[in-house]
Amino acid sequence: MPQNKSTLFTVFLMLPLALAAACAQTTPAAPANSGSSAKAESQKIAPIPGFDTSIMNTTVDPCTDFYQYACGKFAAKYPIPADLPWYNQFENLQEYNHQLLHGILEQAAKPSPSRSSSEQKIGDYYGSCMNTAAIDADGLKPLQSELARIDALKDKSQLPSLLAHYQKIGVNAFFDFGSMQDYKDATKEIAEVDQGGLGLPEKDYYLRSDPKSVKLRQEYTQHLANLLHLYGEPAAKAATDAQSILALETSLAKVSMGMVDRRDPYKTYHIETVSTLAGTDPSLDWPALIRDTGAPPITDLNVANPAYFQALNGILQQADMATVRNYLRVHLLDSFASRLPTAYDDENFDFYGRKLAGVPQKQVRWKRCVSATDAALGEALGKVYVEKYFAGDSKQQTLDMVKTIEAAMNQDLKSLSWMSPETKVKAIEKLDLITNKIGYPDKWRDYSKLTIQPNDALGNSIRARIFESARQLDKINKPVDKNEWGMSPPTVNAYYDPSMNNINFPAGILQPAFYDRNAPEQVNYGHIGAIEGHELTHGFDDQGSQFDGHGNLKNWWTPEDKKQFNARTACLVNEYDGFTAVDNLHVNGKMTLGENTADNGGTRLAYMAMESYALRHNIDITKRMGNYTPAQQFFIGFAQNWCSNDRPAFVRMLVQTDPHSPNHIRSNGVLRNMPEFAHAFSCRKGQPMVAAAPCHVW
Ligand SMILES: [Zn+2]
């Protein structure tokens, strides 16, 4: 949802559904998936065990390509389902969780007087989403009042009220307005306005001139024309109007900030008064617009990209009203496509799923409706999920493991040769202040004010978005709630939040392959341990290191130490720039720096923690246990986090939009920098898995 302004919130991996939703601004699983057959419907997914020799290809030399050694048979064993852009360990576990949630929701959807209020909400949300017969029969009727608002838009003075309404219902148009934790005073929640309003994933999609990008732009324009045609415009007029929308969005793209710049918190932090913003962009009545969003009274806010709003003024003044109305129509239709008649849903998938992500088939409806319910009512559904499926002791076991990794970081910081004692004290202070959130919230979110009705798919979606937008805006001027979760409990992911200075591991990821109580500890350290280390290291990557232990954007480094740190991160930028992601497309070392730092540091910390575990338990990590030594098992476990079968079009999109490196590189890029790995597999200098000049930040 555009209202969630945690722009620096670093997640462990980009899930395709999240990306799809971000592209189309639909609540959950809009584009990338469905349709597939009874086969996919009946296929039962099980978690992959923590250490799986059946997916290894041991004919490959581990010193030549360790990813192929550890994961070489994964693609043959796990073909990509027609409704997904890739298949990997995360996706497999996500599919498994989907099955569990499916069971919960099918049960909750059955009308019964004994349903609790939560069961009624999740059941009817899911049930109404599933009822495509009713959705098709209703046509555009449920959206009529929204469409009428656009028809009634005669001149630009009416825009602020409509755009405020779009912020409430989560439709992406011209900008995003919401709340955020103040970067420089983490005790405060403030309002924020940011660039927005693009239908393609980010600015460069509008500006690149290579043949693939040009073709994709043509396909996007055709998609816009198809939407307008479906809506009732004659085809020729729809084609011309689509060109005008593309031109309008291109003008927004040109003045938007790029992916690399947006990673710098100083570049997206500009506290201004509302009247300064109003002076910058007089095309919109900002005080009225902000009031109409339902935000509490404010005098100032963060204007993330002031230059954008300066330019927006000119763009809006020059834009003709017919184009603005068409722009708003297509964004509205795309945003709610999955709750509209099949033709709209298919059109949305055809572009965002098939053309942009390279996925052949839409996902079966139940999976999309499970994701939709998780996105709208995540903590109501998550509470049942946790009660039914989250083993009580997993929380304590994970916490114990995190503690050993924090201890490893403490030891690592103390032993650094390049950091002065002065900065070390601050770094350890920050480390000690990191809080760990594991599994699920201590206090569950209250949805009692959200009305969910049977057979009202669109209405439910709109009300859920208004509820979420109001929840976000209600935070402004109030104390920060440190117990809040940014992910629902069943999510197969993890994150670090620099303003909160906390690491978060939802229950969904604390299962095999990532955490397997039947696997030896050295394997679990390679799996979930490396993920825990990754999140911890985010607190000290190029972005996180600019925030102090209290979550404030405040320098705690001496100039000399910062110089040393920058030289070390520059090594990673250079190294990852050299990696080929797909075809001739290289990784963007600057865009992925934070994630690569976290991958490298996190794996090293997990290895150190594993070593001290072994020491405490008298385990010789160089002595074979079965076919492999414990050290080797750690690295196989780690590399198997990244076993993946990817569609090239999807990887192409990720390389341009995702701050993470591609999966095989998240394995090999890290290992070639680790002498411990070379030692475990007797790799020699000069072999591909041994970097000539290894990079080492943490
Ligand atoms: Zn990360």
Under 8 Å between Cβ of 115 and 123: yes
Say if residue 76 is exposed, middle or buried (CB neighbours under 10 Å; 0-12, 13-18, 19+): exposed
Instruction: Compute the average pLDDT of residues 348-359.
Output: 96
- pLDDT score at 30: 29
pLDDT at 24 over 80: no
Q: In which residue are the tokens 């030289």 written?
A: 567
CB-side neighbour CA atoms (13 Å) of 178: 28
**50-98 per-position pLDDT tens digit:** 889 999 999 999 999 999 999 999 999 999 999 999 999 999 999 999 9
Give yes or no for residue 655 having a pLDDT over 60. Answer: yes
- By C-alpha distance, which of 500, 696, 477 is closest to 600? 696
Q: Where are the beta strands (DSSP E) in 595-672?
A: 644-646
Question: 7 pLDDT exceeds 70?
Answer: no
Q: Hey, what are 677's tokens?
A: 């790995």
* pLDDT value of residue 37: 36
**Residue 107 dihedral angles phi and psi, to the nearest 5°:** -65, -45
The identity of residue 485, as a single letter, is: W
- Which pLDDT score is estimated for 38? 35
Number of Cβ within 10 Å of residue 441's Cβ equals 17
Distance (angstroms) between ligand 1 centre and the Cα of 97 equals 22
Expressed in angstroms and rounded, the spacing between residue 136 Cα and the centre of ligand 1 is 41
pLDDT at residue 14, as a whole number:
62
Average pLDDT of the residues in 359-365: 96
Write out pLDDT tens, residues 214-228.
Answer: 999 999 999 999 999
Long-range contacts of 580-584 (CB under 8 A, 24+ apart): 581/651, 581/652, 581/654, 581/655, 581/661, 581/662, 581/665, 582/646, 582/648, 582/651, 582/652, 582/655, 582/662, 583/648, 583/652
Average pLDDT rounded to a whole number, residues 127-138: 98
Mean of pLDDT values over 670-679? 98
Distance between Cα 302 and ligand 1 center (Å): 25
Q: Which of 487, 486, 464 lies closest to 475 in space, CA to CA?
A: 486
Mean pLDDT is lowest, of 23-37, 316-330, 517-531, 602-616, for 23-37
Give the distance (Å) from ligand 1 centre to CA of residue 593.
10
Kindly state the greatest CA–CA separation across the chain: 78
Angle value at C-alpha 613, between 612 and 619, nearest 5 degrees: 100
Q: Quote the CA–CA distance of 634 and 611 in Å, as a whole number.
A: 10
Give the distance (Å) from ligand 1 centre to CA of residue 91.
Answer: 17
Residues with CB in 5 Å of ion ligand 1: 10, 595, 598
Give residue 393's pLDDT band: very low, low, confident or very high (50, 70, 90).
Answer: confident
CA of 257 to the centre of ligand 1 (A): 21
CA of residue 693 to ligand 1 center, whole Å: 24
pLDDT, residue 48, reads 86
Dist. CA 582–CA 358, nearest whole Å: 14
571: CA distance to ligand 1 center in Å?
A: 19
Say what the pLDDT of residue 16 is.
44
Tokens representing residue 383 in the block: 């509470």
Rounded CA-CA distance 543/265 in Å is 7
Mean pLDDT of all residues belonging to the chain? 93
Q: Give me ligand 1 centre to Cα 636, in Å.
A: 20
Q: What percent of the chain has pLDDT over 90?
A: 91
Going by pLDDT thresholds of 50, 70 and 90, the confidence category of residue 232 is very high
- Are 338 and 375 within 8 A, CB to CB? no
Say if residue 642's pLDDT is above 60.
Answer: yes
User: Cα of 675 to ligand 1 centre, how many Å?
Assistant: 23
Cα(11) to centroid(ligand 1), Å = 5
What amino acid occupies position 400? Answer: D
| CA Rg value for the chain | 25
pLDDT of 49: 84
d(CA 633, CA 541): 27
At residue 6, does pLDDT exceed 70? no
Centre of ligand 1 to C-alpha 10, Å, is: 5
CA of 668 from ligand 1 middle (Å) equals 17
The rounded Å distance from CA 697 to ligand 1 centre is 15
CA gap 311, 256 in Å, rounded:
9
CA 541–ligand 1 middle distance (angstroms): 10
Q: 597-624 pLDDT, tens per residue? A: 999 999 999 999 999 999 999 999 999 9
Give exposure, 130-164, as e/b (b: 16+ Cβ within 10 Å): bbbeebeebebebbeebbebeeebeeeeebbbbbb
Q: Which tokens hold the place of 265?
A: 């918190």
Residue 529's φ and ψ, nearest 5 degrees, are: -60, -40
Residue 22 pLDDT > 50? no
Share of the chain above pLDDT 70, in %: 94
d(CA 4, CA 463): 16
Q: What is the band of 43 on the pLDDT scale with cuts at 50, 70, 90?
A: low
Using the mean position of ligand 1's atoms as its centre, give its distance from the Cα of residue 493 in Å: 10
389-410 in b/e form (b: 16+ CB < 10 A) is: bbeeebbebbeebbebbbebbe
Check: CB of residue 104 under 8 Å from CB of residue 381: yes
Q: Is the pLDDT of residue 33 over 50?
A: no
Evaluate whether 472 touches 168 at the Cβ level (below 8 Å): no
Tokens of 333: 């239709």
Residues 664, 666: Cα–Cα separation, whole Å: 5
* Strand-pair partners of 17: none
Residue 553: pLDDT over 50: yes
- Indicate the burial class of 692 (C-beta count within 10 angstroms; 0-12, 13-18, 19 or more): exposed
Residue 662 pLDDT level (bands cut at 50, 70, 90): very high
Instruction: Give the position of tokens 């309002």.
Output: 191
Calpha distance 443→300 (Å, rounded): 31
Distance separating the N- and C-terminal Cα atoms of the chain? 34
Q: How far is CA 573 from CA 383, 408, 569, 597, 661, in A?
A: 41, 25, 6, 9, 12
Q: Show the tokens assigned to 540.
A: 């000290």
For residue 266, pLDDT over 90 is answered with: yes
Could you tell me whether strands 502-506 and 435-439 are parallel, antiparallel, or unpaired per DSSP bridges? parallel
C-alpha of residue 549 to centroid of ligand 1, in Å? 18
Helices 663-671 and 559-577: crossing angle in degrees, nearest 10, is: 120
Give the catalytic positions in this structure: 535, 599
Read off φ and ψ for residue 580, nearest 5 degrees: -90, 130
- Residue 233 pLDDT > 60, yes or no? yes
Ligand 1 centre to CA of 695 (Å) is 18
CA of 659 to the centre of ligand 1 (A): 8
pLDDT (tens digit per residue) in 285-341: 999 999 999 999 999 999 999 999 999 999 999 999 999 999 999 999 999 999 999
Instruction: List pLDDT tens digits, range 404-418.
Output: 999 999 999 999 999
Nearby residues of 579 by Cβ (< 8 Å), 6 or more positions away: 586, 587, 661, 665, 669
Closest CA to 184 of 553, 479, 498: 553
pLDDT at residue number 683: 98
